[in-house]
Amino acid sequence: MYNRCGESMKLWLSKTSDVPVRDQLATQIAMAILSGDYQAGQRLPSTRELALRLHIHQNTVSAVYRDLARRGWVEFRKGSGIYARAHSPAEPDQEHALDFLIRSFFESARQKGYSLARVQSSMKRWLEMQPPDHFLVVDREPELRRILAAEIEEATGVTVKTASPDECAGPSMLTGAALLVLDNNRAESVMTSLPPGTQLIMLRSRSLPVSLQGKGPVPPDALVIVVSVWPDFLEWSRRVLVAAGVEPDALSLRDGRKRGWHKGIALNALVIADTLTAREIPAGRDVRVFRIIADSSIDELRRFIDSLPVPPSSVDRVTV
């Protein structure tokens, strides 16, 4: 059963819903203020008036008004009544407002005779049509995912999330995401866990020598410290540096996941690190950052962002 309030404030309540009447009423009054149906300083119906209109107990309305006053939506004026306040809602109120809008949409669709299956199908189609609002790096190795995300955020300023292939098996993780995978070999293992037809953006990696170009040769007598949160980075770097002529005894490999890895880094040491770990290295050290993603792939991501009908907003951007 739905009870509708008068035209001065458009409210309705479902006493058969699993959402408490108190929550329904509080959310709708907040939405009325937020949308401008009630302007700041405008008087709201009295507790008695609203209770009579909605056929609910005055104590329920009184509790709703007290809660709204505590959250800054309304104010009590002694001897005068209850008034709307100018308000910038906090995050929890935004979530309640979104729930209210969704519930209103479903109720309106039902009243117009649309089946739930039809609504779900239409919503799925519209969600798939929406441009992505973030990147999602998918890989089985969490350390590699974190490094790739750091490189992309640093280069593009757009939010990057990470997930394992198993976490992407359902549609919720994929909604609003442009999926990124490093190299063809890794993509093959990732694709087996993704829903059929999932589109991927393939990232190309670059070699360590290319990453170090323009930074001068590695001094033959230097102590070279390689540090990363990704174990494969350490082994990969060791092989390349030894092949480039660095003495194995001059190499120190450090696991960035372990506490105290930065202790004893000499001022005369050359430090090679991934983008994520490089941020933790003490100032004044000679640091050469090995970025895993090729410049050509970074340029492709920037062009992809520019091609979107609605680029990610400043809310979705990050500072790194």
The low-confidence residues of the chain, meaning pLDDT below 50, are 1-7, 88-92, 214, 313-320
In sequence order, what are the residues at sequence separation of 6 or more whose Cβ sits closer than 8 angstroms to the Cβ of residue 197?
none
pLDDT of residue 23: 81
Quick: pLDDT tens for 217-236: 666 667 888 999 999 888 88
Number of domains in the chain: 3
Are both 201 and 306 inside the same structural domain? yes
Are both 215 and 196 inside the same structural domain? no
User: What domain range is 156 assigned to?
Assistant: 134-206+298-316
pLDDT of residue 46: 92
Are both 58 and 163 inside the same structural domain? no
Are both 141 and 193 inside the same structural domain? yes
Are both 140 and 11 inside the same structural domain? no
Q: Is residue 115 part of a domain?
A: no
CA 5, distance to chain mean position in Å, is 38
Q: Is the CB of residue 119 less than 8 Å from the CB of residue 80? A: no
Question: Cα(first)–Cα(last) distance of the chain, in Å?
Answer: 52
Are both 70 and 149 inside the same structural domain? no
Q: How far apart are CA 204 and CA 161, in angstroms?
A: 19
Q: Is residue 147 part of a domain?
A: yes
pLDDT of residue 315: 32
Consecutive H or E run containing 208 = helix 208-211
- pTM here is 0.57
In sequence order, what are the residues at sequence separation of 6 or more whose Cβ sits closer than 8 angstroms to the Cβ of residue 287?
271, 272, 273, 278, 281
Consecutive H or E run containing 312 = none
Quick: pLDDT tens for 114-170: 887 787 777 776 666 567 778 999 999 999 999 999 999 999 888 899 999 888 877
